[in-house]
């Protein structure tokens, strides 16, 4: 955790996949006392678990038929939030050194002094003062089903299906409802959830940047996702982006500039696509062909050519000269 000014920053979730490693290496690198689970995890037939403290949970899955050496790991906030900058950078370096992919990374930016209440944020959204790349906004009101006590409101920007989603909620109230003694240490939480390519990009940025620059980077990414300006819902887009920041948002973000999270676009290789087809698709494809015949396969391939986009034409350029790309069956 890093503390400075209006926000503190904490890694709140980390998930990653390694294409080839061993369970022993993962458990030794992450640390903790792991034990084998009786059930699988996320489609992996073999799973291991680890708990740490009252809230830390780690899960590991491996042994998938498509790639028996692949290992997927989920680490909850109770584990990763305890890591210092050195530990986090060493784990990220290890992941990328094994050609791994970070599939999810949650970053919590906490307004521990509660200088901006949830109600202020909600009213700004309703007034049209939010400038966001996300078109979806949702308000969820929560309460304890046992005694009916409110556990707070959560504002959602974005959807679960997208690679970036923002949650804003009263972390202090949530922890108080759960009886946590340290609830007073928390306040309003702005939590960015990155998945897939955006999680990978965020993790690579944290590995590359000096820890003292993390906060400026993360607040900048937050501002690129949502900004609050003295504007209205009816204003044109260019007017919204030129409008001045609302006072409470300017104070909370301390004048940090907006910062884009750049996703590295890696061109697909034809060999990789062919390997994916062979390993992941061929068993089910064989079942369909066995039931419906070769003609169905040929019709499906022909229909697929009508849906080619730029990425498909880029793959076509990788074929060897003289190699036909129209499949013919005698």
Rounded to 5 degrees, φ, ψ at 12 are -110, -10
pLDDT tens, residue by residue, 98-149: 999 999 999 999 999 999 999 999 999 999 999 998 888 888 877 666 666 6
Domain-wise residue ranges, the chain: 2-253, 270-316
pLDDT tens, residue by residue, 143-199: 666 666 666 789 999 988 899 999 999 999 888 888 888 899 999 999 999 999 999
Spatial contact of 312 and 268, defined as CB atoms under 8 Å apart: no
Quick check: 1 pLDDT over 50? no
pLDDT, average across residues 48-54: 93
Which of 232, 219, 228, 223 minimizes the C-alpha distance to 248? 228
pLDDT, average across residues 15-40: 96
Which of 5, 247, 252 minimizes the C-alpha distance to 124? 247
Which of 216, 217, 190 minimizes the C-alpha distance to 203? 217
Spatial contact of 104 and 112, defined as CB atoms under 8 Å apart: no
User: CA dist 227 to 11, 94, 106, 157, 192, Å?
Assistant: 22, 35, 19, 12, 14
Quick check: 3 pLDDT over 60? no
pLDDT of res. 325: 40
Model pTM score: 0.77
pLDDT tens, residue by residue, 66-89: 899 999 999 999 999 999 999 999
Which of 33, 90, 80, 38 minimizes the C-alpha distance to 56? 80
């Amino acid at each position: 955790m890093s503390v400075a000014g209006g926000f503190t920053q904490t890694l709140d979730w980390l998930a990653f996949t390694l294409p080839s490693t061993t369970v022993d290496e993962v458990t030794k690198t992450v640390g903790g006392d792991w034990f084998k689970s009786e059930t699988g995890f996320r489609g992996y037939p073999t799973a291991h678990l680890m708990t740490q403290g009252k809230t830390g949970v780690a899960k590991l899955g491996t042994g998938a038929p498509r790639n028996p050496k692949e290992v997927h790991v989920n680490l909850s906030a109770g584990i990763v939030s305890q890591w210092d900058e050195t530990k986090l950078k060493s784990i990220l370096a290890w992941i990328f050194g094994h050609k791994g992919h970070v599939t999810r990374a949650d970053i919590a930016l906490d307004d521990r002094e509660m200088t901006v209440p949830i109600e202020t944020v909600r009213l700004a959204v309703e007034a049209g003062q939010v400038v966001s790349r996300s078109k979806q906004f949702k308000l969820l009101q929560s309460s304890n089903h046992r005694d009916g006590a409110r556990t707070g409101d959560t504002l959602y920007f974005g959807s679960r299906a997208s690679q970036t989603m923002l949650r804003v909620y009263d972390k202090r109230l949530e922890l108080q409802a759960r009886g946590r003694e340290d609830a007073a240490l928390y306040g309003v939480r702005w939590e960015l959830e990155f998945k897939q390519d955006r999680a990978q990009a965020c993790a690579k940025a944290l590995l590359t940047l000096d820890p003292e620059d993390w906060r400026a980077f993360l607040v900048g990414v937050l501002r690129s996702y949502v900004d609050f300006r003295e504007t209205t819902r009816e204003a044109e887009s260019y007017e919204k982006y030129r409008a001045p920041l609302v006072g409470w948002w300017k104070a909370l973000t301390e004048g940090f500039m907006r910062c884009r999270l750049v996703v590295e676009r890696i061109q697909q290789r034809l060999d990789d696509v062919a390997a994916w087809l062979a390993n992941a698709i061929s068993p089910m494809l064989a079942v369909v062909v066995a039931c419906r015949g070769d003609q169905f396969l040929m019709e499906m391939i022909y229909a697929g050519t009508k849906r080619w986009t730029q990425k498909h034409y880029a793959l076509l350029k990788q074929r060897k000269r003289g190699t036909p790309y129209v499949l013919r069956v005698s």
